[in-house]
Structure formats: structure tokens, C-alpha cells
Chains A and B, each alone.
Chain A
Amino acid sequence: MELVEAIILSVLAASTPLLLAATGELVTERSGVLNLGVEGMMIVGAACGFGAAWLSGSIIFGAFCGVVAGILMSLIFALMALGLAVNQVATGLALTILGIGLSGLIGAGFVGERITPAPHLYIPGLTDIPLAGRILFGEDAFVYLSIALVVGVWWFLYRTRAGLILRACGDNHVSAHALGYPVLRIRLYAVMFGGACAGLAGAYLPLAYTPFFIPGMTAGRGWIALALTVFASWRPARLVVGAYLFGAVTILQLHAQGAGIGIPSQFMSSLPYLATIIVLVLLSRARTGGSTAPAALGTVFVPDR
């Protein structure tokens, strides 16, 4: 029983950065912009978040700086992809390359340092309930925030006028423009939201998941988050399922390694990446009658006057 509880707790923790980053990217992509720089924004968020938390001693300030760093990175992307109408795939790649270099530069000063990780919730009575208590009432704030964020994004996209307009921009920017909506400005906000979420997701890693920073610690999570938006068919509810599924794969392969089942650890470590490929293939194949992707995803828009 204790092992099951421990596994579920670690699955939740491993899934949270994926869920945070993927939620942000989902909003960005729903507005019609494909930002492939999630990995770069995450790793800079991780470096800035850890640096700020280590210097100030405050997890909240660290998370805040992670968010700001993510937004600043996304603004570079917005300037290029929206302002200068550059190919979004190439720009996103450039953002990732830049982010990996920048994070090394920023993080060089505090590699090897440790901080006290984000505290877990404790409600006397509730948290002590066997099995379910710690899972439901004993998480760190990021876990609750990530779920609140998904619910908020769902409500925004499907229950508000602004969300409808954002989706319109993603499906047909020419029509949205003709109706008088400021397509580029809406996309700018969506890109910034994606950056904020990716920065927070990155900051989560050194602030709560492992209490230290190592270069390249995101280890492809940004790319997996991108795959998750495809997995979720760009719908927030399915994103939760996908993120927890991937968290589970990550944790189960770690436990399998620990149990010593005789399969080399490198093969187990490659499982999340192979799972991503298999899921992408199965989902793309299962879809009939056209794609569910936002129709204008990844296309350049230059308004004509």
C-alpha cells in the first residue's frame, strides 16, 4: 500500500511540469502559433527560477522569476514569428538552442547548490487519511496550480467570448482579421501565456522536483509537452490524461530500474521517448476525416490593409 501511494505521489510530481508546459502550449497553438521553443523556455525558467530562489530563499519568488524568464523568452519568439513573419518552426528551434546556451550561462554560478524544496500541503486530519489523504491533500502548490490552470484554460476557451475569438484566430486568421479582431495582438498574448507556463514548468523542476539545478535538466520534457498537445487533440481535458500517462511511464520505468529486472537502465530510460513516438503514430493514424489541429496552426499571417 505504501509503495502504491509513493508511486502515485511521484507520478503526480513527474506529470506536473508536463501538464504546466503543455497547457501553455495548447493555448498558444489554439491561437494558431506553433512555438517549438518550449524546451528552451523551460530550461531558462529552471535556471532563473532556481537562481532567484537560491539567492532570495523564497520558492514563490523563484517561481515568479521562472515565469518572467519564460515570458521574456516567448517575447523573442513573438518578435520573430509575429513581428517579422519568420517561419515558426525555425524560430522555435532557434529559441531552444538559445535557451539551452543561456541556461548554462545563467546557471553556471549555482550548479551544485541545494535549496529546501517547495513545502507540501498539510491539513491535520485530511492529510492523515490512509492512502488518499496524502495524494489529495499532501501535494506541493504547483500540483494544485497545474490542475487549476487546466480548468481555467478549459473555461476560458469554451465558456468565454475571448476564448472563442482566440480559437477563431487559430482556425482562420483571415476571417478573424476581416471581422476586425487584432489577430497578431491576440496571438502575442497567447504566446506570452505559453511562455509563462513553460517558465513555471521549468522552475518547478529545481524548486520542487529535485532541489538543485543541473544543466539540461529538462531532458526533453518541453518536446514531450509539445507531443502532448497533439495527443490531447488540442483539448484541455485530454491533456490531463496524457500528462499523467506520461508521468506514469517515467516513474514506472524508474521503479523497474530500481527493482533490478535485468533490463539495462538505458533501455528503460528511453521508454518515455519511444512512448511519445508510438502515441503520435497511433493517434495520427486513428484520426479520420481530417485533422483536429487548429486549421491555421504554424502559418504566417501578415495583415493587409
Chain B
Amino acid sequence: MRLVLEKRAERSTIIALISPLIAIGLTIVTLCILFAILGKNPISALAVYFIDPLTDGYSLQEIAVKATPLVMIAIGLSLCYLANAWNIGAEGQFLIGAVAGSWLAVKTQGTDAGHWVLPAMLALGAIAGALYALIPAICKVRFGASEILTSLMLVYVADLLLDYLVRGPWRDPQGFNFPTTAEFDPVATVPTLIEGGRLHLGSIVALLVVAAGAVLLGRTIKGFEIRVVGAAPRAARFGGFNANQLVLLTFAISGALAGLAGIIEVAGPVGHLQPGISPGYGFTAIIVAFLGRLNPIGILIAGLFLALTFIGGEQAQIAMKIPLDVTKVFQGILLFYVLACDSLILYRFRLISTSPKVQSGAR
């Protein structure tokens, strides 16, 4: 007897609905085993990871703060992936957006610049992110170079550029030689929503992005073109859709959103530019996009869930001395299970006999 994969006659709608839940369930089981190996009580570790952050106001705000960049980046990435364009350099576009917006904040520091500074910073971040994302897109469309590799290489370049700026020209003269810019002026800071709280205006922007993504994909011709080009390239050609133009468009949108997320993060929760402003948001957003099934509402839920794992991971490190890397392992395993469960929408397993010929001969 042998287990083989077989194509379903039509996609299974039941599995399509519950596959993210199965994936999360399987990940949690795997996580329990990992906790046991590390010598921690799995039940109390899970409680610290997934329940405790939901029980106090500060952590709830922090989840929204962490989910903001994840959701914004993932909405952009989902457009790329739907169009079968593989932008995996969102981390770099995030950093470049942060750098470009910070330029204005640094230049206007200490001057009596008015309230135009923050909107201008956000615009700069989005434009810079879009332009940075267009580099791999143009290399792909014009020269046929793999956008996967070029977009990823640009992550390292952006990281080094940021490092240079905060250690060199933009370093805070009163910063005791730490690699950071000075704290941004109030006019260059994203306002918080609650007095003295952490929740900031960026979370509202993220919700608007989700709504815009849902309208674009569900209600416009462009959104339809994006989905057709990815799902049925041949049909798209017959339909006269320009695949190259869609690669450029989806890369530009996702770059702009990642850049905007970058400058919001710097001008909001962080408050200044420094290395390490992102705990890998650009890469985690890839998981968010897939866990959310490349659907805007799904991405919103998935973004909140992965933000929960960031907060839970930090609390587990403090409370139970569980290494922070467990969070990354968790995210990697989760993506595996999500992809595996999604495969069962289109395929099913069947047991077959390994030697059918011998059996018929014996009869």
C-alpha cells in the first residue's frame, strides 16, 4: 500500500475555509513539543504566549502597534503574489521608506517647521519605498532578471545604508556616540490615539489600507487583472492584459506600502532612526500574507495573530526565559503548515495498492 497525492475534481471549499485554523492548531502542537524539549511546561508556556498578552490593556495596544506594519506590508505583498510577482524584499523597502522620511525629520529638526512635516515625511517614505521596489521590477520586466534574488539583495543594501547614515551624517551629536538620530520633533511624530498610550494613528492608516485593498481586489478591473494574470496567465494574454505592467504596478504598490509602514514605525513607536527598527517585519509579512490567504480581511486577522506571537515571545522570554528565537521558529513552522494545508484544497491523499498488476494476474 502506498499513499499518493491526487488532484481533486474541484477545489474543496470546506478545507479552503478551515485550512488556516488547522495550520495554527498543528503549529501549536509542534510548539508544545518544542517547549517540552526546552524543558518548559508546555501549558503554562502557551498561556504566556497566547493568553496573557490578551488580558491587559498595554499588551493589547502593543499588539495593534506591531500588527500595523505587518498588515500594511502584507496587503501590498498579497497583490504581488496574486499577480505571480515575487517581491520578497519588503524588509528593504520598509527600511528605505524609514530612511527617506527620516531625512526630512532630521533636516527640519529644531526649526519652526509647521504641521506639514509629518504628511511630507509619510509621502516621502511611500515614494521612496515604491521607487526602491521598482528596481527589481524593472530588472525583471526589462531584462528578465529574477525579481526574487534582486529584491532580496536590496534588503542588505538598505540595511547598510541605514547603518551608514545613523553612524555618520545623521548621528545625534548629543547621543553619546550611539548609532541613532536625535528624537524627532513633535511635528515630525505620528500622534498617539490615547493620551499616554502606545496606540497611534498608523493603526487607522493600516485599516484604511485593508479597506482599499479589499475594494481594489474585489471591485475594480485592475484587481481583476491582477488575479487573472496570476491564476491563468494564458487567459490573461488572450484578454489583452499587460502582465509586465501589472508586475510594475504591484511592486510599486507593495513598495509604497512597505515604505509607508517604515516611516510610520520610525515616526511613531520608535521616535528616531536607528539600526534594528524592524524585527523582520518585511519577512514576517510574507507569512501574514499567506496565512491570510492573500485576502485583505484574512491578512488583517493574520497580522493581529502574528503580532500576538511577537508580544507573547517577548513576555515568554522575560517570564520563562524562553529564547526569543522560538518566535521565529514558530513563524517558520506556521508558514509550512499553512502551505501544506492549502495544498489539500487542490489535492487529496489516496491509498493505492503498490502492485495492481500482480493481483489481477493471480485472479
Interfacial residues, chain A to chain B (CB-CB below 8 A): 36, 76, 80, 83-87, 89-91, 93-95, 97-102, 104-105, 108, 219-220, 223, 226-227, 230, 264, 266-267, 269-270, 273-274, 276-277, 280-281, 283-285, 287, 291, 302-305
Contact = CB atoms under 8 A, between A and B. Distances in A.
14 contacts: A80-B336, A84-B340, A84-B343, A86-B343, A94-B332, A97-B328, A102-B325, A105-B323, A219-B156, A223-B152, A266-B163, A276-B153, A281-B143, A305-B352
A101 B160 contact: no
Nearest to B339: A86
What 4 A-B pairs come out closest when comparing CB atoms? A98-B332, A101-B328, A104-B325, A101-B329
Contacts of B32: none
A305 to B, nearest CB: 8
Contacts of A83: 5
Contacts of B7: 302, 304
Interface string B133-156: 001000100011110111011101
A108 B323 contact: yes
Interface in B246-296: 283, 286-287, 290
B343 to A, nearest CB: 4
B148 A36 contact: yes
Interface residues of B, number: 51
A190 B167 CA distance: 45
B149 A226 contact: yes
B339 A266 contact: no
Q: Is the interface of B mostly helix, strand, loop or mixed?
A: helix
B61 interface: no
A285 to B, nearest CB: 4
A280 B336 contact: no
B119 interface: no
A104 B343 contact: no
Contacts of A226: 149
User: Secondary structure at chain A's binding surface: helix, strand, loop or mixed?
Assistant: helix
Contact of A277 (B154, B164, B342): B154
A36 B342 CA distance: 19
B357 to A, nearest CB: 12
Given A276-B149, A280-B139, A100 B328 contact: yes
B139 A105 contact: no
Nearest to A105: B325
Interface of B: 4-7, 86, 88, 135, 139, 143-146, 148-150, 152-154, 156-157, 160-161, 163-164, 167-168, 283, 286-287, 290, 323-333, 335-336, 339-340, 342-344, 346-347, 352
Contacts of B163: 266
A162 to B, nearest CB: 24
Contact of B164 (A84, A98, A108, A266): A266
Given A89-B86, A94-B335, A274-B153, A230 B146 contact: yes
Contact of B326 (A36, A105, A281, A304): A105
A101 B336 contact: no
A303 B161 CA distance: 48
A94 B339 contact: yes
Contacts of A102: 325, 329, 332
A156 B333 CA distance: 35
A273 B153 contact: yes
B212 to A, nearest CB: 25
A277 B328 contact: no
Contacts of A220: 152-153, 156
Contacts of B161: 266, 270
A25 to B, nearest CB: 12
A80 B135 CA distance: 31
For A91, A105, A303, the residue with the greatest tally of chain B CB atoms inside 10 Å of its CB is A105
Contacts of B149: 223, 226-227, 230, 276-277, 280
Nearest to A104: B325
A164 B78 CA distance: 39
Contacts of A270: 156-157, 160-161
Nearest to B322: A105
Find the residue from A87, A273, A285 having the highest chain B CB count within 10 A.
A273
Contacts of B346: 85
Contacts of A291: 144
A80 B145 contact: no
A284 B148 CA distance: 14
> Could you say which of A219, A269, A304 has the most chain B C-beta atoms within 10 Å of its C-beta?
A269
A80 B340 contact: yes
A86 B340 contact: yes
Given A266-B161, A270-B156, A277-B145, A97 B331 contact: yes
A117 to B, nearest CB: 26
A90 B290 contact: yes
A273 B339 contact: no
Contact of B325 (A108, A287, A303): A108
A91 B328 contact: no
A291 B143 CA distance: 12
A284 B153 contact: no
A95 B326 CA distance: 15
Contacts of A90: 290, 335, 339
A270 B164 CA distance: 11
A218 B271 CA distance: 31
Given A91-B336, A266-B163, A273-B157, 5 more contacts: A84-B340, A86-B340, A284-B144, A285-B144, A305-B4
A66 to B, nearest CB: 19
Contacts of B324: 104
